[in-house]
Structure formats: structure tokens, C-alpha cells
């Protein structure tokens, strides 16, 4: 444990504050950006396909805007381990071996990711790492991988897994930590694919760098709305070194309108989810590419000063704190290096105007005015005084704004910039 973590833990103990220590071991301080093979290709992967997608990540300019990882998902392995119990890549589809693949990826400037499972078998029936954690961690490192996605299928039970769900993941977390210490190499980034079981957002940060909070994403509005709704209640779990993983960026596979696709990308980016592209890049269209390359949103996802997620300040259509998987919270904000970020989601099936008072967001100072930057049109949209209205936000569409302090608000306005509960020193109530 680094000295500052010990101090933190000791202080927390003294003060009686419960604390979740993050896995702040030098890697994955910020969300991982990259590519994953699963959504477009499922089990139909081989070394050439992976390298083709990696080359497209480069030639399409995705690597240049920050997507620096390329990850395999399930089905890379042989069904049987070797005589000595090590994992073996599929002899036909990965005939050149994993060192060749990671070597090629590294030469292109990518980090390489592999997939495993915390149970007996992976979800597609390949060998899982339960009771092989140290051996497999060593194999992944020997093969040159930088990242491990670790799934939750085929769970051992009863007397075999008395450690519980936390312990099941802790085993590989410990193996990776141990390996980094003994080998003195950069720790492998540990990504829990745990689907939000047993409140993973309460303990994931002490075990890994990201944790899936929901099941697999489908490319349709209902799936997006449901994932956004679920995650709206647990945004506090996200920070530097550990974060809610809302699953892959499911663009360009059909099923979403252009506005829904923008909403998808905005919510994932501003909620600081890892952003792993799951598109067949050989067939990607310009509109999808444009969304994935929104550098202003990517900069906020990768904010090195403010690690927290945006959170809802008003649900809008529903009363505050309503959980509604088809109609999530509409009005969100959060801090960033350069100002307060706002995200407005029109959950309705028709265009609508969306209004908020600036001080509904805790990051806004009353009595100040704010310059408004539209993070989709990439324009400066004047100055907001006390409130802002986004006009005719499309059905299932999104607005992303960056508000920067632009000094005291103009004189001559009603005395109170807070919308409720202002008083003079002599106790007289003052209306906003
Ligand atoms: C895998 O091992 C099992 C026995 O554990 C054996 O029956 C099977 O033939 C092996 N499969 C291959 C492809 O070697
Ligand atoms: C991978 O294998 C190919 C074909 O044998 C070879 O040309 C290439 O140099 C190898 N790359 C690495 C990084 O080993
Ligand atoms: C990916 O796109 C290419 C080019 O359109 C196409 O030939 C290929 O079949 C696609 N693969 C899948 C799995 O959709
Ligand atoms: C803040 O603004 C600077 C200058 O435009 C930019 O380089 C940086 O990426 C921005 N940071 C965030 C988190 O948006
Ligand atoms: C929005 O703020 C302006 C002052 O900038 C004020 O005149 C207007 O009444 C406010 N609108 C609402 C709906 O509160
Ligand atoms: C910001 O200004 C641009 C350019 O005029 C406009 O297209 C966009 O709708 C405005 N954004 C908002 C949220 O009003
Ligand atoms: C916005 O502020 C005005 C007072 O300026 C208040 O009447 C209104 O209820 C507030 N609206 C919201 C949504 O907070
Ligand atoms: C209280 O103070 C306000 C100014 O802040 C003034 O307008 C008002 O007359 C005062 N009321 C009393 C009862 O003194």
C-alpha cells in the first residue's frame, strides 16, 4: 500500500469514516479509451481481423483523438489448457501466437487487452481462470497484454467459493498486484465485467479499475435509457482509478437514430465510463465516426483535474429520484477542469424545450454570469444569466454544455440570484 493510502486509511479509521481505497497503482487513473471486438464480431475473431481493426483505428484518426487500446473479447482461446495448465491461444485463428499480436499492436502504438473469466469457463465456454489466477496473470503478462477484462460466467459455488462475489474477483486482483510487484512491470489494468451484481459499485474500486454496472448493452433506445437510469443513482462511485463501466459504445450497428447515438456517446463520456468502440470499423459511416471523434467531450471524459461523473440535479419528466428504466433523469451537471458541464437528455418521443436555473447545479455560483459553450455544435452560445433554455431538443436527443464563469451578473436584476429561500439580514424574505 502506498504511504498516502496508509495515511488515508489510518485517518479514516480514526475518524470512523468508512472508506473504499482505490486501486491507485499508477495505471488507469482515467477511463480507458479504445476498441473491443465483441459487439461487431462476437466469436468470429482472429489475428488478422484484430490487426485490421487496429489499423483502421489509426487510419480513421481514432487513435489520434485518444483511443489507444485494442482489446480481444471472448473466444480467443483453445478449449483445453496445456499439459502444464497454461492457457493456449486457438492454434488456427491465433496461429502466430499472442506475443506476435501484442507486438504488432504495441508497434502501432496501442495497448493490448485480453479477456478472461472469474469462474470455471468463460461465457462462451472457454477455460476460466478460477483457481488458475496467478498462472493466468503470468501468462497474460508474458504474452504482453496490458489490460484484462474479467467476466462473471460459470460461477463456482458452495464450499468452493466461500469468498463470495468480492472474493471471487479479489483473487485475480491480488494475482495481478502480486505479479506487478514481483516482476516490477507496469500493473495490468483490471476491468471487472460483473454486470452490477451484489452492488459492485460499493466495492469495485478496491478490486479493479472499472466495473460493469449493468448487463450487456443492445443497440436501441430502451437499452440506453435503462443503463442511464440505473447509473444515475450511483454516480458517486466513479472517480480517478475506478469507475462505473456502462458497457461498450454501441454505435454504427443500426438500431439508434443519429440523435440517440449522440445521447449514448454523451452520457458515456460525461459519466466517465470507459469508451470502448464496438463497431465494425471496415464499414463505419462518417456520422458515427464524427460522434466518436467529438474531442471536446473526449477531453472531459479524460479530465485529469476532475475525475467525477456528471449527476442529475433534476429528473424532469419524473419526480426527483424516480427510477424509471424507460425515462431516466433529464438534467445533469458536474465539475470539470474548465467549468461546469451540463447534460440535458430529452427522454420524450417528441422535440422539447429544456430549461434550467443555473443554480440548480451545485457547481454554479449565484450572482455570476456564465459563458456557454455548446459541445456538439462547437460554438460559443453567448452568456447565460440565471437560467438557460435549449430550444427544440430533438426526440431522445441531447445537449452538452460547458459553462464558464464570466464575472458578476449584470446589475438591475431582481435582488436574489437563487431561485428560492433568500432573505435580508433583517429577516425579510426576498423573491428571486
Ligand atoms: C480436451 O481435453 C479433454 C479431456 O480433458 C479431451 O477429451 C479432449 O479431446 C480434448 N480436446 C482437444 C481438442 O484436445
Ligand atoms: C508477426 O508475424 C509476422 C508473420 O510471421 C511477422 O512478419 C511479424 O514480424 C511478426 N510481428 C511481431 C511483432 O513479432
Ligand atoms: C465488416 O464490414 C465489412 C465491410 O463492409 C464486411 O465485408 C464484413 O462482412 C463486416 N463484418 C461483419 C461481421 O459485419
Ligand atoms: C480545458 O481547456 C484546455 C484549453 O482549451 C484544453 O486543452 C483542455 O483539454 C480542457 N480540459 C477539459 C477537461 O475539457
Ligand atoms: C431567466 O433569467 C432572466 C434574467 O436573466 C429573467 O429575466 C427570466 O425571468 C428568467 N426566466 C425564468 C423562466 O425564470
Ligand atoms: C448554439 O449555437 C449553435 C449555432 O448557432 C446552434 O446551432 C445550437 O443549437 C446552439 N445550442 C443551444 C444549446 O442552444
Ligand atoms: C427557476 O427560478 C425561478 C425564479 O427565478 C423559479 O420561479 C422557478 O421555479 C425555478 N425553476 C426551477 C426548475 O428551478
Ligand atoms: C429589511 O431590509 C431590506 C433591505 O435589505 C429593506 O428593503 C426592508 O425595508 C427592511 N425591512 C425592515 C422591516 O426593516
d(CA 285, CA 160): 48
Structure confidence at residue 1 (pLDDT): 43
Is 259 marked active-site? no
pLDDT-derived band at 3 (thresholds 50, 70, 90) equals: very low
pLDDT at residue 19 tops 60:
no
Ligand nearest, relative to CA of residue 389: 6
- Average pLDDT (354-371) is 97
56, three cell numbers = 483502421
pLDDT at residue 202 tops 90:
yes
- Average pLDDT (123-139) is 98
Closest ligand 3 atom number to CA of residue 44 = 13
Contact 102, 147 (CB under 8 A): no
The 8 Å CB, 24+ separation contacts for 154-163 are 154/117, 154/119, 154/120, 154/121, 154/122, 154/123, 154/128, 155/118, 155/119, 156/119, 156/120, 156/130, 161/130
Contact 230, 325 (CB under 8 A): yes
pLDDT at residue 16 tops 90:
no
Structure confidence at residue 421 (pLDDT): 85
- Average pLDDT (88-116) is 98
Q: Specify the residue with its C-alpha closest to ligand 1, atom 4.
A: 80
Distance 298 CA to ligand 6 centre (A): 20
> Which of 6-20, 93-107, 209-223 shows the lowest mean pLDDT across its residues?
6-20
Structure confidence at residue 18 (pLDDT): 46
What DSSP assignment string belongs to 134-184? HHHHHHHHHTT--EEEEE--S---GGGGTTHHHHHHHHHHHHHHHHHHHHT
Give me the domains of the chain, ranges plus CATH numbers.
15-301 (3.20.20.70), 311-408 (2.60.40.1180)
pTM: 0.94
Structure confidence at residue 253 (pLDDT): 81
Overall residue count recorded for the chain in this entry: 432
- Average pLDDT (315-333) is 98
Q: In 3-state terms, what secondary structure has residue 39?
A: helix
pLDDT at residue 197 tops 70:
yes
pLDDT-derived band at 51 (thresholds 50, 70, 90) equals: very high
Contact 37, 57 (CB under 8 A): no
Radius of gyration of the chain (CA): 23
Ligand nearest, relative to CA of residue 392: 6
Q: Is the CB of 282 under 6 A from ligand 3?
A: yes
- Average pLDDT (168-189) is 98
Q: Is the CB of 41 under 6 A from ligand 3?
A: yes
Calculate the average pLDDT of the chain. Answer: 95
Angle at 226 between CA 223 and CA 232, to 5 degrees: 135
Contact 40, 279 (CB under 8 A): yes
- Average pLDDT (221-239) is 98
Distance 376 CA to ligand 6 centre (A): 9
d(CA 244, CA 237): 7
Structure confidence at residue 12 (pLDDT): 45
pLDDT-derived band at 188 (thresholds 50, 70, 90) equals: very high
Q: Is the CB of 376 under 6 A from ligand 6?
A: no
To test the pocket of ligand 6, the residue of 374, 380, 384, 390 to mutate (highest count of ligand atoms within 8 Å of its CB) is 374
d(CA 30, CA 242): 8
Closest ligand 4 atom number to CA of residue 402 = 14
Amino acid at each position: 500500500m502506498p504511504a498516502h493510502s496508509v495515511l488515508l486509511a489510518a485517518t479514516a479509521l480514526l475518524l470512523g469514516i468508512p472508506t473504499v481505497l482505490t486501486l491507485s497503482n499508477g495505471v488507469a487513473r482515467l477511463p480507458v479509451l479504445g476498441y473491443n471486438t465483441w459487439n461487431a464480431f462476437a466469436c468470429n475473431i482472429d489475428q488478422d481481423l484484430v490487426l485490421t481493426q487496429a489499423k483502421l483505428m489509426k487510419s480513421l484518426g481514432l487513435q489520434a483523438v485518444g483511443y489507444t487500446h485494442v482489446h480481444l473479447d471472448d473466444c480467443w482461446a483453445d478449449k483445453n489448457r496445456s499439459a502444464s495448465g497454461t492457457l493456449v491461444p486457438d492454434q488456427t485463428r491465433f496461429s502466430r501466437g499472442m506475443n506476435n499480436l501484442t507486438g504488432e499492436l504495441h508497434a502501432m502504438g496501442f495497448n493490448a487487452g485480453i479477456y478472461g473469466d472469474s469462474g470455471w469457463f468463460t461465457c462462451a465456454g472457454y477455460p476460466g481462470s478460477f483457481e488458475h489466477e496467478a498462472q493466468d496473470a503470468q501468462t497474460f503478462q508474458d504474452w504482453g497484454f496490458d489490460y484484462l477484462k474479467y467476466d462473471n460466467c460459470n460461477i463456482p459455488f458452495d464450499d468452493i467459493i466461500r469468498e463470495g462475489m468480492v472474493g471471487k474477483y479479489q483473487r485475480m486482483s491480488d494475482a495481478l498486484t502480486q505479479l506487478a510487484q514481483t516482476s516490477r512491470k507496469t500493473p495490468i489494468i483490471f476491468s471487472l465485467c460483473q454486470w452490477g451484481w451484489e452492488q459492485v459499485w460499493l466495492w469495485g474500486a478496491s478490486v479493479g479499475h472499472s466495473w460493469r454496472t449493468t448487463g450487456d448493452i443492445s443497440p436501441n433506445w430502451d437499452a440506453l435509457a435503462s443503463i442511464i437510469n440505473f447509473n444515475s443513482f450511483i454516480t458517486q462511485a466513479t472517480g480517478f482509478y475506478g469507475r462505473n463501466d456502462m458497457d461498450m459504445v454501441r454505435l454504427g450497428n443500426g438500431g439508434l437514430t443519429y440523435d440517440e447515438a449522440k445521447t449514448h456517446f454523451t452520457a458515456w463520456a460525461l459519466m466517465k465510463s470507459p469508451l470502448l468502440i464496438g463497431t465494425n470499423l471496415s464499414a463505419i459511416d462518417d456520422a458515427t465516426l464524427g460522434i466518436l471523434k467529438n474531442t471536446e467531450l473526449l477531453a472531459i471524459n479524460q479530465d485529469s483535474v476532475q475525475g467525477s461523473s456528471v449527476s442529475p440535479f433534476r429528473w424532469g419528466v419524473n419526480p426527483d429520484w424516480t427510477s424509471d428504466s424507460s425515462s431516466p433523469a433529464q438534467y445533469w451537471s458536474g465539475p470539470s477542469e474548465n467549468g461546469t458541464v451540463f447534460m440535458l437528455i430529452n427522454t420524450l418521443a417528441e422535440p422539447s424545450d429544456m430549461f434550467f436555473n443555473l443554480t440548480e447545479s451545485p457547481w454554479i455560483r449565484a450572482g455570476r454570469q456564465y459563458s456557454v459553450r455548446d459541445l456538439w455544435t462547437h460554438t460559443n452560445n453567448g452568456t447565460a444569466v440565471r437560467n438557460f433554455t435549449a430550444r427544440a431538443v430533438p426526440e431522445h436527443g441531447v445537449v452538452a454544455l460547458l459553462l464558464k464563469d464570466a464575472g458578476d451578473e449584470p446589475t438591475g436584476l431582481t435582488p436574489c440570484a437563487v431561485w428560492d429561500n433568500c432573505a435580508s439580514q433583517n429577516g425579510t424574505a426576498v423573491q428571486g
